[in-house]
Structure 1
């Protein structure tokens, strides 16, 4: 019996053979491998990817806060209506977390998604995307065994069905920033809308600093910031969060983000434990201005 209504179907794609050909990491530390810049470039030798000819893999239909959070391949031409966006993201993260747990894959929520967890274990009502992180060893395992997997999801106690694509960026093996075109290593994409979860990997890039982990977008962590991961819940399903979640959030967003109760036209209601949309300012219908 397939757990939680998840059905994985591996699709064939011309370039996916390159991704699934990635060998597993051979130099594991406690949690991951070091990038050895002194060795011949495996991107070119094994995968035919030339660093000097790096191309952007994931594309979005726009660069603003709305269109910048859709994958162009699955964007329908119009953004998801406001009233549908929240539930769409909720189903997406539930399916993602269940899939990773069912397949014994390690992941945790990060950035603005982690901030939402801090407040009430939910996605912030104004968010358009979701962020998660993995160690580079998990990222390579995804590329080896799960790239281009389509997951069929059925929501518990409802007739809602969705399909999600787990798409690993061919440039995920390039662990430094490179040209900055591929800071997102993988995505979990809602095929019906194009909304997605960003998956970024962390690597140890400096052998002289073995406890420092970095992503391609400048975020740095210490091993004890992340491990041991804490088990919690997010949007009603089991989720992992960094051990020093408060320090991670404070460093990224400041202490005010953990206490401020008004943001993005929403106010925190401590009784409901929800962010409530502010009422629009009432306008005085009486116009006392004088016209000549």
Structure 2
């Protein structure tokens, strides 16, 4: 009966009726002969029957087993649906968009920017070319290389930095589309309108409800997200205002031409940047080997940087960090606007470009207070994800595919380290909270079910980031990995706008995984006694600040911040982590040993999925380790991944146990000596592992 219901769902309103009544001309305006019609009818019957068998079986199975983690298997099984979708008249509109702009399976290695080796996109062409360009400037006779790099802007196109091959058919057809639509804006409006369907998981009017609920369009939807994201990055997504190369001694900053390149540089253009030359030979292009040359270039760059007389900087975090409560004072936006306007209205006084940009931003934000806006950061909605909300934690248009838990954790491992270095360089103070703090409490690692990172910051420091670092592309220190991060601020961060509860994001640009950054402020500062010896602290023990989601935190529970090691990296946490967790999640929330289908196993320092082992199936501590203290396979519940992850994270957990005893069990001691040095990267992400 259940199978029959799905078959009925695939044949709503007698769509297929009988072969005799099936009229191919309904799907095409091209006249066909009687013989061709008969052949088409026969072929259609065979195709429909095959499609029904595959679809019915897959829908039945996926009703029980499909989730985000096994999405790859699901995609493979649903390739057969293309046959059905091409015949189903109700799948026009968005389906037509996919049909036109999807890359055929036999041409998946097509690429727009032509900068690939062996038909595979290589992100390192663009970053290695930039490292070489920076090195050329420092090696030259230029007296102010930092100023030149910032002011002599370089050209930019996202297709040189990110794999946007899914946009290839759209790009190839763009001249014809321009003739059809008449203007670039009309094409843009069409793309954004049609992309609303996959992004918001809208039910189209021609979709049968049972079919929609049966999850049969998920495969197409994810492909649609990939295509729309690639088109968005190629044509419409804001380009960076600057690119920062992260090293362990300096952030090399390069200014970007605000005019987007019409076409990507490609391999030849990047080779010109690599050699710092207007012309390159075929031999030079062939000798441009980005993966082999990066480390030598980095060593040369450091040597030339020192040779210019610059001192090496340190991004090591301080053991404890305090902050004045003044940093959390709610901004007086109108006062700032009037101050800039007064300067602007004086005779013979013109605002600098930076001041004018600031004034425009403040006025735009202020003028829209009270006007509900769509949430600035676009997230994804897919019907299968209404319970776990995993896909909400991918940022569009950066998402390339659905990641499994291991992939996501590896990316987070790099992202958190890069963010706190970035913040230290920008001289802003921040700390992580919520689920990440909960993960710290147990083993100082991200929770296996937590899909993002949550950072808090003062409104003053958020404003600093917004003014000087918005739209910044960060190249991860090549000694640690090859990730790219994009820092972007919400234009409404300076005011309290309805629904705009996230003030900025630090996004891993290859995957869409991100850090949510929330600014905290105090609506009204308390009065201060003139006799106070600590006037600027303003009795912080009675002060509470809050984010735009109206989550309140006591100042004395947060400050002074503590340095810790989280996911191997130096980070800051609240001064009283247990109290912060109890106040937010409820008393004794840290006593829970079962959470989100996982159970806490203290002896190995890991949250283990219940389906692997729980309760009596958990090995006894004395039976889990060999004579060398290594976790045995049987001690790892006969799971090789648990055994491998234990080995990777053992050093992290040993540090955390000592730190936990001092900070939590001894109620607030100084454990900063344990976080003096970061651990080496122990989670490396190679997408090819998961293909």
Normalization by structure 2: what TM-score? 0.35
- The question of whether the paired residues in 1 share the 8 Å contact of 2:333 and 2:494 is answered with no
1:3 aligns with 2:239: no
2:504 is aligned, of 183, 186, 203, to: 186
1:211-290 maps to which residues of 2 (within 5 A)? 211-279=543-611
Deviation of 1:122 after TM superposition, in Å, equals 0.7
1:72 aligns with 2:393: no
For residue 486 of structure 2, what is the aligned residue in structure 1?
165
Deviates more, 1:2-11 or 1:89-98: 2-11
For the residues of structure 1 that align with 2:442 and 2:490, how far apart are their CA atoms?
Answer: 32
Deviates more, 1:144-153 or 1:54-63: 54-63
Deviates more, 1:37-46 or 1:97-106: 37-46
For residue 152 of structure 1, what is the aligned residue in structure 2?
475
Deviation digits for residues 207-251 of structure 1, max 9, x if unmatched?
Answer: 458722110001111221211111111111111111122111001
- The question of whether the paired residues in 2 share the 8 Å contact of 1:7 and 1:151 is answered with no
For the residues of structure 2 that align with 1:45 and 1:170, how far apart are their CA atoms?
Answer: 8
Higher relative contact order (CA 8 A, sep 6+): 1
For the residues of structure 2 that align with 1:5 and 1:163, how far apart are their CA atoms?
Answer: 17
Deviation of 1:2 after TM superposition, in Å, equals 2.8
1:33 aligns with 2:332: no
For the residues of structure 2 that align with 1:13 and 1:69, how far apart are their CA atoms?
Answer: 29
Question: What is the CA RMSD across the aligned residues, in angstroms?
Answer: 2.9
2:461 is aligned, of 125, 138, 158, to: 138
For the residues of structure 1 that align with 2:256 and 2:600, how far apart are their CA atoms?
Answer: 43
- The question of whether the paired residues in 2 share the 8 Å contact of 1:3 and 1:102 is answered with no
Deviation of 1:40 after TM superposition, in Å, equals 8.9
Normalization by structure 1: what TM-score? 0.80
Q: Aligned pairs, how many?
A: 263
Identify, as 1 or 2, the structure richer in strand: 1
For residue 205 of structure 1, what is the aligned residue in structure 2?
523
1:87 aligns with 2:410: yes
Deviation of 1:273 after TM superposition, in Å, equals 1.1
Structure 1: which 5+ residue stretches go unaligned? 15-27, 282-292
- The question of whether the paired residues in 2 share the 8 Å contact of 1:35 and 1:205 is answered with no
1:98-137 maps to which residues of 2 (within 5 A)? 98-137=421-460
Deviation of 1:104 after TM superposition, in Å, equals 2.7
Deviates more, 1:252-261 or 1:36-45: 36-45
- The question of whether the paired residues in 2 share the 8 Å contact of 1:269 and 1:276 is answered with yes
For residue 23 of structure 1, what is the aligned residue in structure 2?
none
Deviation digits for residues 189-218 of structure 1, max 9, x if unmatched?
Answer: 010011110000000112458722110001
Instruction: Give the 3 Å change call, closer, same or farther, for CA 274–216 of structure 1 in structure 2.
Output: same
Q: Which has the larger radius of gyration?
A: 2
- The question of whether the paired residues in 2 share the 8 Å contact of 1:4 and 1:98 is answered with no
Instruction: Give the 3 Å change call, closer, same or farther, for CA 269–6 of structure 1 in structure 2.
Output: farther
Deviation of 1:108 after TM superposition, in Å, equals 0.2
Deviation of 1:172 after TM superposition, in Å, equals 0.7
- The question of whether the paired residues in 2 share the 8 Å contact of 1:11 and 1:150 is answered with no
- The question of whether the paired residues in 1 share the 8 Å contact of 2:329 and 2:524 is answered with no
For the residues of structure 1 that align with 2:442 and 2:334, how far apart are their CA atoms?
Answer: 45
Instruction: Give the 3 Å change call, closer, same or farther, for CA 148–222 of structure 1 in structure 2.
Output: same
- The question of whether the paired residues in 2 share the 8 Å contact of 1:35 and 1:204 is answered with no
For the residues of structure 2 that align with 1:46 and 1:200, how far apart are their CA atoms?
Answer: 19
- The question of whether the paired residues in 2 share the 8 Å contact of 1:66 and 1:79 is answered with no
